[in-house]
Amino acid sequence: MKPINEAAARWAVREDAGPLGPDDQRELEAWLKADPRHRGAYVRARSQWVDLDRLAALHGPSNSPSDPLPVPIPEAPAPVRSTVSRRQLVAASVAAIAVAGGGFSWMLWRGGRERYTSGIGEVRRIALADGSTLLLNTDTEVTVQITHERRDIRLIRGEALFEVAHDKARPFVVTAHETAVRAVGTAFAVRLESTQVDVTVTEGVVEVAVPAKEAGAAPGAPPTLHAETKRVAANERIVIARTGAEEVQSIAPAASNRQLAWREGQVSFDAEPLAIAVAEINRHNRRQIVISDLALAAMPVTGVFRATDLEGFSAAAAAALKARAIPDGDVIRLEQGTISQ
């Protein structure tokens, strides 16, 4: 019963930190249904919260009314732990001692997730406590929660490269939209866009849980379960749309290096349409490039550019495509060269 009680205590602490998200709620419901003993342990764990406010009051107020998760400064090589309120510390103690029989749980003590972000035009490396590293591309946000049982990463926005320390006992799971990527010891990148998730593996093998809708779901309803798992190996890629998944595709090392050129602060193109190249470099800059017409947008661009050098890219593209780069306040307009001077 001890593992069940400890799991119930963890759920109690997670719920106290704030409303569960859709994925966590489904995970809780599945856990409750898995064994009749789970619900009883869960009810007992929740009952421990009745007097927590009174107990916390004896220790005085917390340092912060909302106990926000701080964003670690870029220079910090190691993760910064979330601020933990007195109430959370009392809660962890009560749950661990009363529910788990006296064994203090490290996960309970830590409480909520850690949050990391990168700014526009910034590439940031994060060293995790388990030995794994995260490399965040421009304008990226992730949350991290490492427990005795698993390493749980959520990609909120942007793109990240994960170099995973080998640990079979604790799966490393990255969630983006409704897609989950599971790895043990490998390296892979995940890019989150509004309509899809792009997973590229550079080392080892990952398992990608592809979302699918339940039978009878209403049109337009979001996926609610993982119905299919695909294995993606080194030099392979899969793109998962919100409506389904593409097949696993082989990707040449050169193409993979171009796709991940942002690791070195660069963007690399090989005959991509100008519109795609501009969209990519715009991600790295507050100023933006605007293309004047569809014909120009479809022209191919080849080259390696510094991701934050908007002027250099614009000048090079204009010269190669016989167009003009015209600064206009907060934007640079790329126009056909035939437009009158």
Q: Do 155 and 220 have their domain in common?
A: yes
For residue range 113-170, what is the model confidence (pLDDT) as tens digits?
Answer: 899 999 999 999 999 988 899 999 999 999 999 988 889 999 999 999 999 998 888 8
The pLDDT value given to residue 175:
94
235 C-beta neighbours (distance < 10 Å), count: 16
> Is residue 199 one of the residues assigned to a domain?
yes
Q: Both 234 and 298 in a single domain?
A: no
Judge if 89 and 207 occupy the same domain: no
Say if residues 49 and 91 touch (Cβ distance below 8 Å): yes
The residues pairing with 179 across neighbouring beta strands, listed in sequence order, are 176
Q: Are 95 and 183 in a shared domain? A: no
- Is 303 in the same domain as 178? no
| Distance in angstroms (rounded) separating the CA atoms of residues 211 and 51 | 41
- Residue 100 C-alpha from the chain's centroid: 31
Residue 77 lies in a domain: no
Q: Which residue has the tokens 């193409």?
A: 255
Residue 73, in any domain of the structure: no
Residues 140, 102 within the same domain: no
Check residue 245 and give its pLDDT: 67
Residues 21 and 100 in one domain: yes
Predicted confidence band of residue 241 (pLDDT cuts 50, 70, 90):
confident
Give 3-state DSSP helix, strand, coil % of the chain, rounded to 5. 30, 35, 35
Residues 145, 137: Cα–Cα separation, whole Å: 20
pLDDT of residue 104: 36
pTM (2 decimals)?
0.64
Please tell me whether residues 127 and 207 are part of one structural domain. yes
Same domain, 120 and 245: yes
Q: Is 72 part of any domain?
A: no
Decide if 116 contacts 71 (C-beta within 8 A). yes
**Of the residues 235, 263, 291, the one at which a domain ends:** 263
- The total domain count for the chain is 3
- pLDDT tens, 251-283? 999 999 999 999 999 999 999 999 999 999 999
Q: Is 75 part of a structural domain of the chain?
A: no
pLDDT digits (tens, 9 = 90+) for 277-336: 999 999 999 999 999 889 999 999 999 999 999 999 999 999 999 999 999 989 999 998
Mean pLDDT for the chain overall: 78
Question: Tell me, what CATH number does 202's domain have?
Answer: 2.60.120.1440
- Dump pLDDT digits (tens) for 34-82: 877 787 777 666 655 444 444 444 444 434 333 333 333 333 344 444 4
CB 127 within 8 A of CB 136: no
pLDDT score at 107: 39
Does 166 fall in a domain?
yes
- Domain co-membership, 270 together with 200: no
CA 39, chain centre distance (Å): 31
Specify if 76 maps to a domain: no
- Percentage of the chain surpassing pLDDT 70? 71
- Supply the range of the domain harboring residue 322: 265-336
Cα–Cα distances in angstroms (integers) from residue 128 to residues 87, 118, 151, 262, 297, in the given order: 26, 16, 10, 21, 41
- Average of pLDDT values for 215-229? 55
CA-CA distance, 198 to 201, in Å (whole number)? 10
Same domain, residue pair 102 and 239: no
Please indicate, yes or no, if residue 183 is contained in any of the structural domains.
yes
Angle (nearest 5°) at CA 232 between 136 and 186: 50
Per-residue confidence band for 1, with pLDDT thresholds at 50, 70 and 90: low
Hey, which residues does 261 pair with through a beta bridge? none
Query: Which domain CATH number covers 309?
Result: 3.55.50.30
The answer to whether residue 12 scores a pLDDT higher than 50 is yes
Residues 149 and 274 in one domain: no
